[in-house]
Amino acid sequence: MVAGADTKSVAERVAEVRERMAVACARANRATDSVRLVAISKKQPEERVRAAMDAGLREFGENYAQELAARVSSFSEVEGVRWRFVGPLQSNKVNLVVRTGAAIDSLHSPDLADALRRRVRHQPIEVLIQVNTAGESQKSGCAPSAVPALVEAVRAMPELNLRGLMTVPPFTDDPEDARPHFRTLAALARSLALSELSMGMSADFEVAIEEGATMIRVGTDLFGPR
């Protein structure tokens, strides 16, 4: 086989992403272990997800409720794996997602918080609030101006363990375009005393690390094209 971009193994891709993370952390004067790598496995074949686990990854994210539930049961025997739901969550899928025990990174409204809270049975579930930093009308997420009130509401719910904020900036070719959105998210989190910042994807995670990301969400650069 000829070595090329499409023949790269998942293990090689994981090593490359880790190296890029280390370089970005060094440039930003941050400890390498201050940033967690969340592997976004949506629409990837199961053998690639297994290869990522074999390469040592333990935190995974999914976008679709059904696929999340299937993954959680497929990999239930792998020790220490943690799942996160990062996609738009419809109210009719709340129960399905809560039952998986996954963290939910796309909380965006008081109604959704209330629906989640009412489904929680045992342990509180970890949540992040998704912020629509660019104010894009077609994108889900809470408007920045509405975040403080949502934070206050969620903090009053013992069933939800609010850890921080998440954002998906508008897609562009230049990673620098994402920087102001990452800054907005970081400033908002700081003002609300929230410690986790989920920001940065394959194309722009170095910029996100420079702006304070504590979790980056990487799909394509870890698994190959979907």
Ligand X SMILES: *Cc1c(COP(=O)(O)O)cnc(C)c1O
Q: Select 21 or 201, whichever has its Cβ closest to ligand X.
A: 201
> Token pair 């190959």 is at which residue?
224
Distance CA 82, CA 222 (A): 17
Residues of this chain that bind ligand X (CB under 6 A) = 40, 42, 63, 86, 168, 201-203, 217-221
Minimum separation from the CB atom of position 106 to ligand X (A): 7
Q: Select 9 or 191, whichever has its Cβ closest to ligand X.
A: 9
Which residue has its beta carbon closest to ligand X? 219
Do residues 9 and 51 touch, judged by C-beta distance below 8 A?
yes
Minimum separation from the CB atom of position 53 to ligand X (A): 18
Distance CA 198, CA 50 (A): 23
- SS3 of residue 114 by DSSP: helix
Minimum separation from the CB atom of position 34 to ligand X (A): 19
Q: Select 157 or 208, whichever has its Cβ closest to ligand X.
A: 208
Q: Select 63 or 161, whichever has its Cβ closest to ligand X.
A: 63
Do residues 101 and 125 touch, judged by C-beta distance below 8 A?
yes
Query: Quick one: 171 exposed, middle or buried, by C-beta within 10 A (0-12, 13-18, 19+)?
Result: exposed
Minimum separation from the CB atom of position 148 to ligand X (A): 23
